[in-house]
Amino acid sequence: MGTIKLLSVLAVISQAAALLTSPPKIVKQPTQEELLFQVALPGEVDKPFIIECEAEGEPAPKYRWIKNGKPFEYSSYDNRISQQPGRGTLVVSKPRDEDLGQYQCFAENEWGTATSNSVFVRKAELNSFKETDGQQIITAEEGKPFKLTCEPPDGHPSPKVYWMLQGDQGQLKTINNSRMTLDPEGNLWFSNVTRNDASGNYAYTCAAKSIFRNEYKLGNKVYLEVKPTGISPALNKHEPVRQYTTRRNERGLKGKRVELYCIYGGTPLPLIVWKKDGSPILSSQSITQDNYGKTLVIKSPRYEDQGTYTCEVSNGVGSAQSVTIPGQCRRKRVHATRIKHCATLQSSDVIHLSRTPISRSPTAPFFTVEPEIQNKAEGETAEIRCEAGGTPAPQITWIHNGVPIDQTPGNPRRRVSNDGKFIIITDLVKKDTGNYGCNATNSIGYVYKDIYVNVQYDLGANHIMIPTDHRQVDRPSNNVPGDHRLITCVIPLRNYNNQFCA
């Protein structure tokens, strides 16, 4: 009798398992940001890269790709592009320039088509500096501020620019001096020039580094001659003079590092004090100072960081100088901070400026209500909601099985709200099973999420309706007292009282 009962239960479970169909669900996909790759130079080893795409579903989904809006047949690329077995992930073993483009993956089975993020694949590169004729010799006056200008080469991503000292034999040495400061544009500022700054057996060289490529390029050598003043260095004094400060309109994004610059020259070396709303700023985990106090770093801007920032500069010569930088943050949900620089240089210890209203900074879309997977039975109603914020206000569009919903066959039981924030499907039937993607887009970017509606047959009260979960329970054995065994149960998500357990 026990054997017959067990076989009956197994038959029911087998029947339930046969009903466990589902549309594809993307579990790995490309980043929404651009994907970089490198093309090997002559003599270099190829540097493969992948474009991820993997999905779950029953039956197992098949994959296809589009590139720049057209079907992408990777097999026609002389075996240098392949697809991972059982997955949709593309493997580019020998990257070439022509691999640049916009890629998107589709995973499909008989119940629906899931759509991945669309990713722009771009080549990382770093060009060389422009060559100049002969060596460059520049003269600076002792004791006065000075600037070495750098014209960095083009590259993607933008290279990190810095200055180094290069010897006659090509040896390189870093610059670490409180009188020398690099601005964001790559220029090297001397707060004041000393005789020791003159080039002897070394030259100043601007360098550009590609972090992604782990490659750097050197510019032309610049030899610095220092013209002595004939005055004792102790008597050679100059009041503070502004060299570089943060630009008048500086946009910052919430959570993205912001740097405020206050570079002044003078002899002796000027002392800089940063204040917010008139109060000195103390270094903390979120706000620090760099470049010997010439840079204020807000590591992860928050709403509380809005205010008026002032750098006060003095060196005991002339009057103290100050620059005021009003900054405002919008509400947290906007995910943005904007720093506005209203810098007017005046001879006063403190400048009082009223806060200037500023428009909301443009921000990429972000979900405030994300669409969620819907597991339903026939006859029920599915409601898919999707809301997003951003500036400008994003437009919401829907994708159904990889196609814009307005281009799919009509369904009299399906309705999309006028504002696009939800879809309702009433009196569900099995053929309503499928994938739905919400795409929120504005001029800054987009955010996308693909989900599915999975409708299971209703076979009556004695049968499982939505067998979408398997669980193990600890149950005493009927044969051996005190013996406990783990037994697998198939459990419908809508009603945990209906469990198939032996």
Residues 78 and 56 in one domain: yes
CA-based nearest residue to 51, from 96, 82, 97, 86: 82
| Neighbour-count burial of 480, counting CB atoms closer than 10 A to its CB (0-12 exposed, 13-18 middle, 19+ buried) | exposed
Residues 261 and 347 in one domain: yes
User: How many structural domains does the chain have?
Assistant: 3
| Predicted TM-score of the model (pTM) | 0.73
Point out the domain boundary residue: 330, 361, 392: 361
Residues 6 or more apart whose Cβ sits within 8 Å of residue 489: 470, 471, 472, 473, 499, 500, 501
Residues 28 and 105 in one domain: yes
In a domain, 118, yes or no: yes
Confidence at residue 293, expressed as pLDDT on a 0 to 100 scale: 93
Identify whether the C-beta of residue 298 lies closer than 8 Å to the C-beta of residue 258. yes
DSSP state of 158: P
CA-based nearest residue to 233, from 143, 314, 315, 316: 143
Residues 6 or more apart whose Cβ sits within 8 Å of residue 449: 367, 370, 371, 386, 437, 438
Is residue 81 helix, strand or coil?
strand
For residue 88, give both structure tokens: 């949709």
User: What stretches in the chain show pLDDT beneath 50?
Assistant: 6-18, 328-360, 461-502
Residues 221 and 313 in one domain: no
Point out the domain boundary residue: 341, 361, 381: 361
H or E element that contains 446 = strand 446-456
Residues 336, 337, 342, CA angle at the centre, nearest 5°?
150
Confidence at residue 491, expressed as pLDDT on a 0 to 100 scale: 40
Residue 18 has φ and ψ, to the nearest 5°, of -65, -25
Confidence at residue 321, expressed as pLDDT on a 0 to 100 scale: 61
For residue 161, give both structure tokens: 């620019």
Confidence at residue 255, expressed as pLDDT on a 0 to 100 scale: 67
Residues 247 and 353 in one domain: yes
318: left (phi over 0), alpha (psi -120 to 50) or beta: left
SS (H, E, C) 189-226: EECCCCHHHCCCCEEEEEEEEECCCCEEEEEEEEEEEE
Count how many residues are written for the chain: 502
Angstrom distances, CA of residue 180 to CA of 151, 163, 187, 194: 18, 10, 10, 11
Residues 110 and 94 in one domain: yes
Identify whether the C-beta of residue 500 lies closer than 8 Å to the C-beta of residue 492. no
Is residue 121 helix, strand or coil?
strand
Confidence at residue 461, expressed as pLDDT on a 0 to 100 scale: 44
The Cα–Cα gap between 362 and 253 comes to 9
Residues 54 and 91 in one domain: yes
Task: Kindly report the CATH number assigned to the domain that includes residue 107.
Answer: 2.60.40.10
In a domain, 404, yes or no: no
Residues 93 and 193 in one domain: no
Residues 208 and 143 in one domain: yes
Instruction: Please give the full DSSP string across 251-265, using - where no structure is assigned.
Output: EEETTS-EEEEEEEE
Confidence at residue 495, expressed as pLDDT on a 0 to 100 scale: 36
In a domain, 366, yes or no: no
Range of the domain at 94: 23-123
In a domain, 352, yes or no: yes
Is residue 98 helix, strand or coil?
helix
